[in-house]
Structure 1
């Protein structure tokens, strides 16, 4: 990331403009040897709106405690993510990408009134069996102190090397010590889209989702992660920790799903399963950072 050429923005990129550009770039092809532009975006002194924060907490299930929900900074970084994917030379169509994994590191709790400085960049382009993966990195500082970072791994289907990749045997999951059932309304995608700006048609209505090959609308992956961490809110550490999630099967909504957690060394493992308790929508691992 040291050779990234950062460009400073005066305002957050407008999400309707980002989506309009994404539609115009729908026909972009990566070619045989795609590369990522070495550009980054920086947005400083982002103040937080109390009404927006309240709406985010409500749709994701967080309670008000004077601190930002751990997933909330992603909402302010996402317009920069989209803008990076609209840059000249970006090899993939944004509308054809799948968010497959996400890692968030919180170095300390962030108070509601702190202003955020956000930097986003691209990296880690890798050819995999069925296509390409790349990362969008985000670093957030306040008053010169790094307080939060993330890596969002996205997948483009097509042009993969075709070689089967050896996967470690998962083994039997540890017995869950706590299971909670969630009712996920059909308007969850619209409500989350309103606060996140991510109004991808696959999340909104049955008709708009069917246009992209889904039988009905699906929940946002980052909503699922946020909802899981809201369930764990009282257990989140004061010290630095990291939360990794792997997005699995899409969650068609409305839905009834199960959230399960079990203790692990230096943290907790959790998952969101379909109502049958078998099909996974999300798996996650929360771990304290080593000294």
Structure 2
């Protein structure tokens, strides 16, 4: 059996360079297999100033504890590095983030020194193309403390989302005004400068009438609404439906379950769903 190659990085990949590479060279990739590379970055310290900026953009309180979505930002540059390598079979531009599952085994704090690893797995068919899982694992010392699976879809066919036919008929517990610059503000702290989030003209080049909010911002904003009500160890599983076209009015609703919560974010004007989520104890 061939050992999986692990590539230790001594600095965080430059996302500006990688997104530029993706735009210039990433539209004509072909392949039938995912790479087995594992990228690892350590030691990785959390910048309190960066954490504070992230919390403000996403609606979290300002503390030294990391929101459950924050480690995704730490692992994202490694994900992009992997997806822009020459042996990755699909282009980064046009790959759609359709689901994200995060498990926190204990809270992380700014005092923790972390190691982050990223790999890709589970290439499989989807009704609209091919999908794969980008897996990120965070260690504090020798212990796994956090891990996530981001599922991406590479479309190979046409047709709209099945979510186009869905409508949330419940009254929202809250309605949020999502400003037209939230894509640029989140990109500044998360590093995800995909052009579909930054400007309406750029978004139109990829088929969107206006710029759209980042899926991971919508997930973080929903979880900020639960602060003070969640256990120290839990899993939050989200499926991204229709994009949030900016600016927007978003309705938010929650339900208590035996072992956690369910929640939805949807267009407050027409009820079309943006995401559905479940929170369960880990």
TM, length-normalised to structure 1: 0.90
Corresponding position of 1:250: 243
Task: Compute the displacement of 1:88 (Å).
Answer: 2.4
Within a 5 Å distance, the mapping from 1:232-243 to structure 2 comes to 232-238=226-232, 240-243=233-236
Corresponding position of 2:44: 46
* SS in structure 1 at match of 2:173: strand
The answer to whether residue 8 in structure 2 is matched with residue 14 in structure 1 is no
The answer to whether residue 27 in structure 2 is matched with residue 27 in structure 1 is yes
Select which of 168, 189, 193 maps to 1:195.
189
Inter-CA distance 188–247: structure 2 relative to 1 (3 Å threshold)? same
Matches of 2:203 and 2:34 in 1, distance apart?
29
Does the aligned pair in 1 maintain the 2:47–2:110 contact within 8 Å? no
Task: Compute the displacement of 1:98 (Å).
Answer: 0.1
Does the aligned pair in 2 maintain the 1:174–1:262 contact within 8 Å? no
Large movers: runs of 4+ above 6 Å: 171-176
* SS in structure 2 at match of 1:181: strand
Count of aligned residue pairs for this structure pair: 276
The answer to whether residue 218 in structure 2 is matched with residue 220 in structure 1 is no
> Structure 1 unaligned runs (5+)?
161-166
Matches of 1:267 and 1:128 in 2, distance apart?
29
Corresponding position of 1:163: none
* SS in structure 2 at match of 1:22: helix
Corresponding position of 2:259: 266
Matches of 1:277 and 1:151 in 2, distance apart?
30
Does the aligned pair in 2 maintain the 1:175–1:262 contact within 8 Å? no
Inter-CA distance 172–208: structure 2 relative to 1 (3 Å threshold)? closer
Inter-CA distance 173–190: structure 2 relative to 1 (3 Å threshold)? closer
* SS in structure 2 at match of 1:234: coil
Matches of 1:280 and 1:129 in 2, distance apart?
20
Corresponding position of 1:211: 205
Matches of 1:21 and 1:221 in 2, distance apart?
22
Task: Compute the displacement of 1:27 (Å).
Answer: 2.6
Matches of 2:139 and 2:106 in 1, distance apart?
11
Task: Compute the displacement of 1:212 (Å).
Answer: 1.6
Matches of 2:226 and 2:265 in 1, distance apart?
13
Does the aligned pair in 2 maintain the 1:3–1:38 contact within 8 Å? no
What CA deviation, in whole Å up to 9, does each residue of 1:7-36 have, x standing for no partner?
Answer: 0000010001111111133332435xx100
Does the aligned pair in 1 maintain the 2:168–2:273 contact within 8 Å? no
Corresponding position of 2:68: 70
Matches of 1:64 and 1:77 in 2, distance apart?
21
Task: Compute the displacement of 1:3 (Å).
Answer: 4.7
Measured on the aligned residues, the alpha-carbon RMSD in Å equals 2.2
TM, length-normalised to structure 2: 0.92
Inter-CA distance 184–174: structure 2 relative to 1 (3 Å threshold)? closer
Does the aligned pair in 2 maintain the 1:132–1:159 contact within 8 Å? no
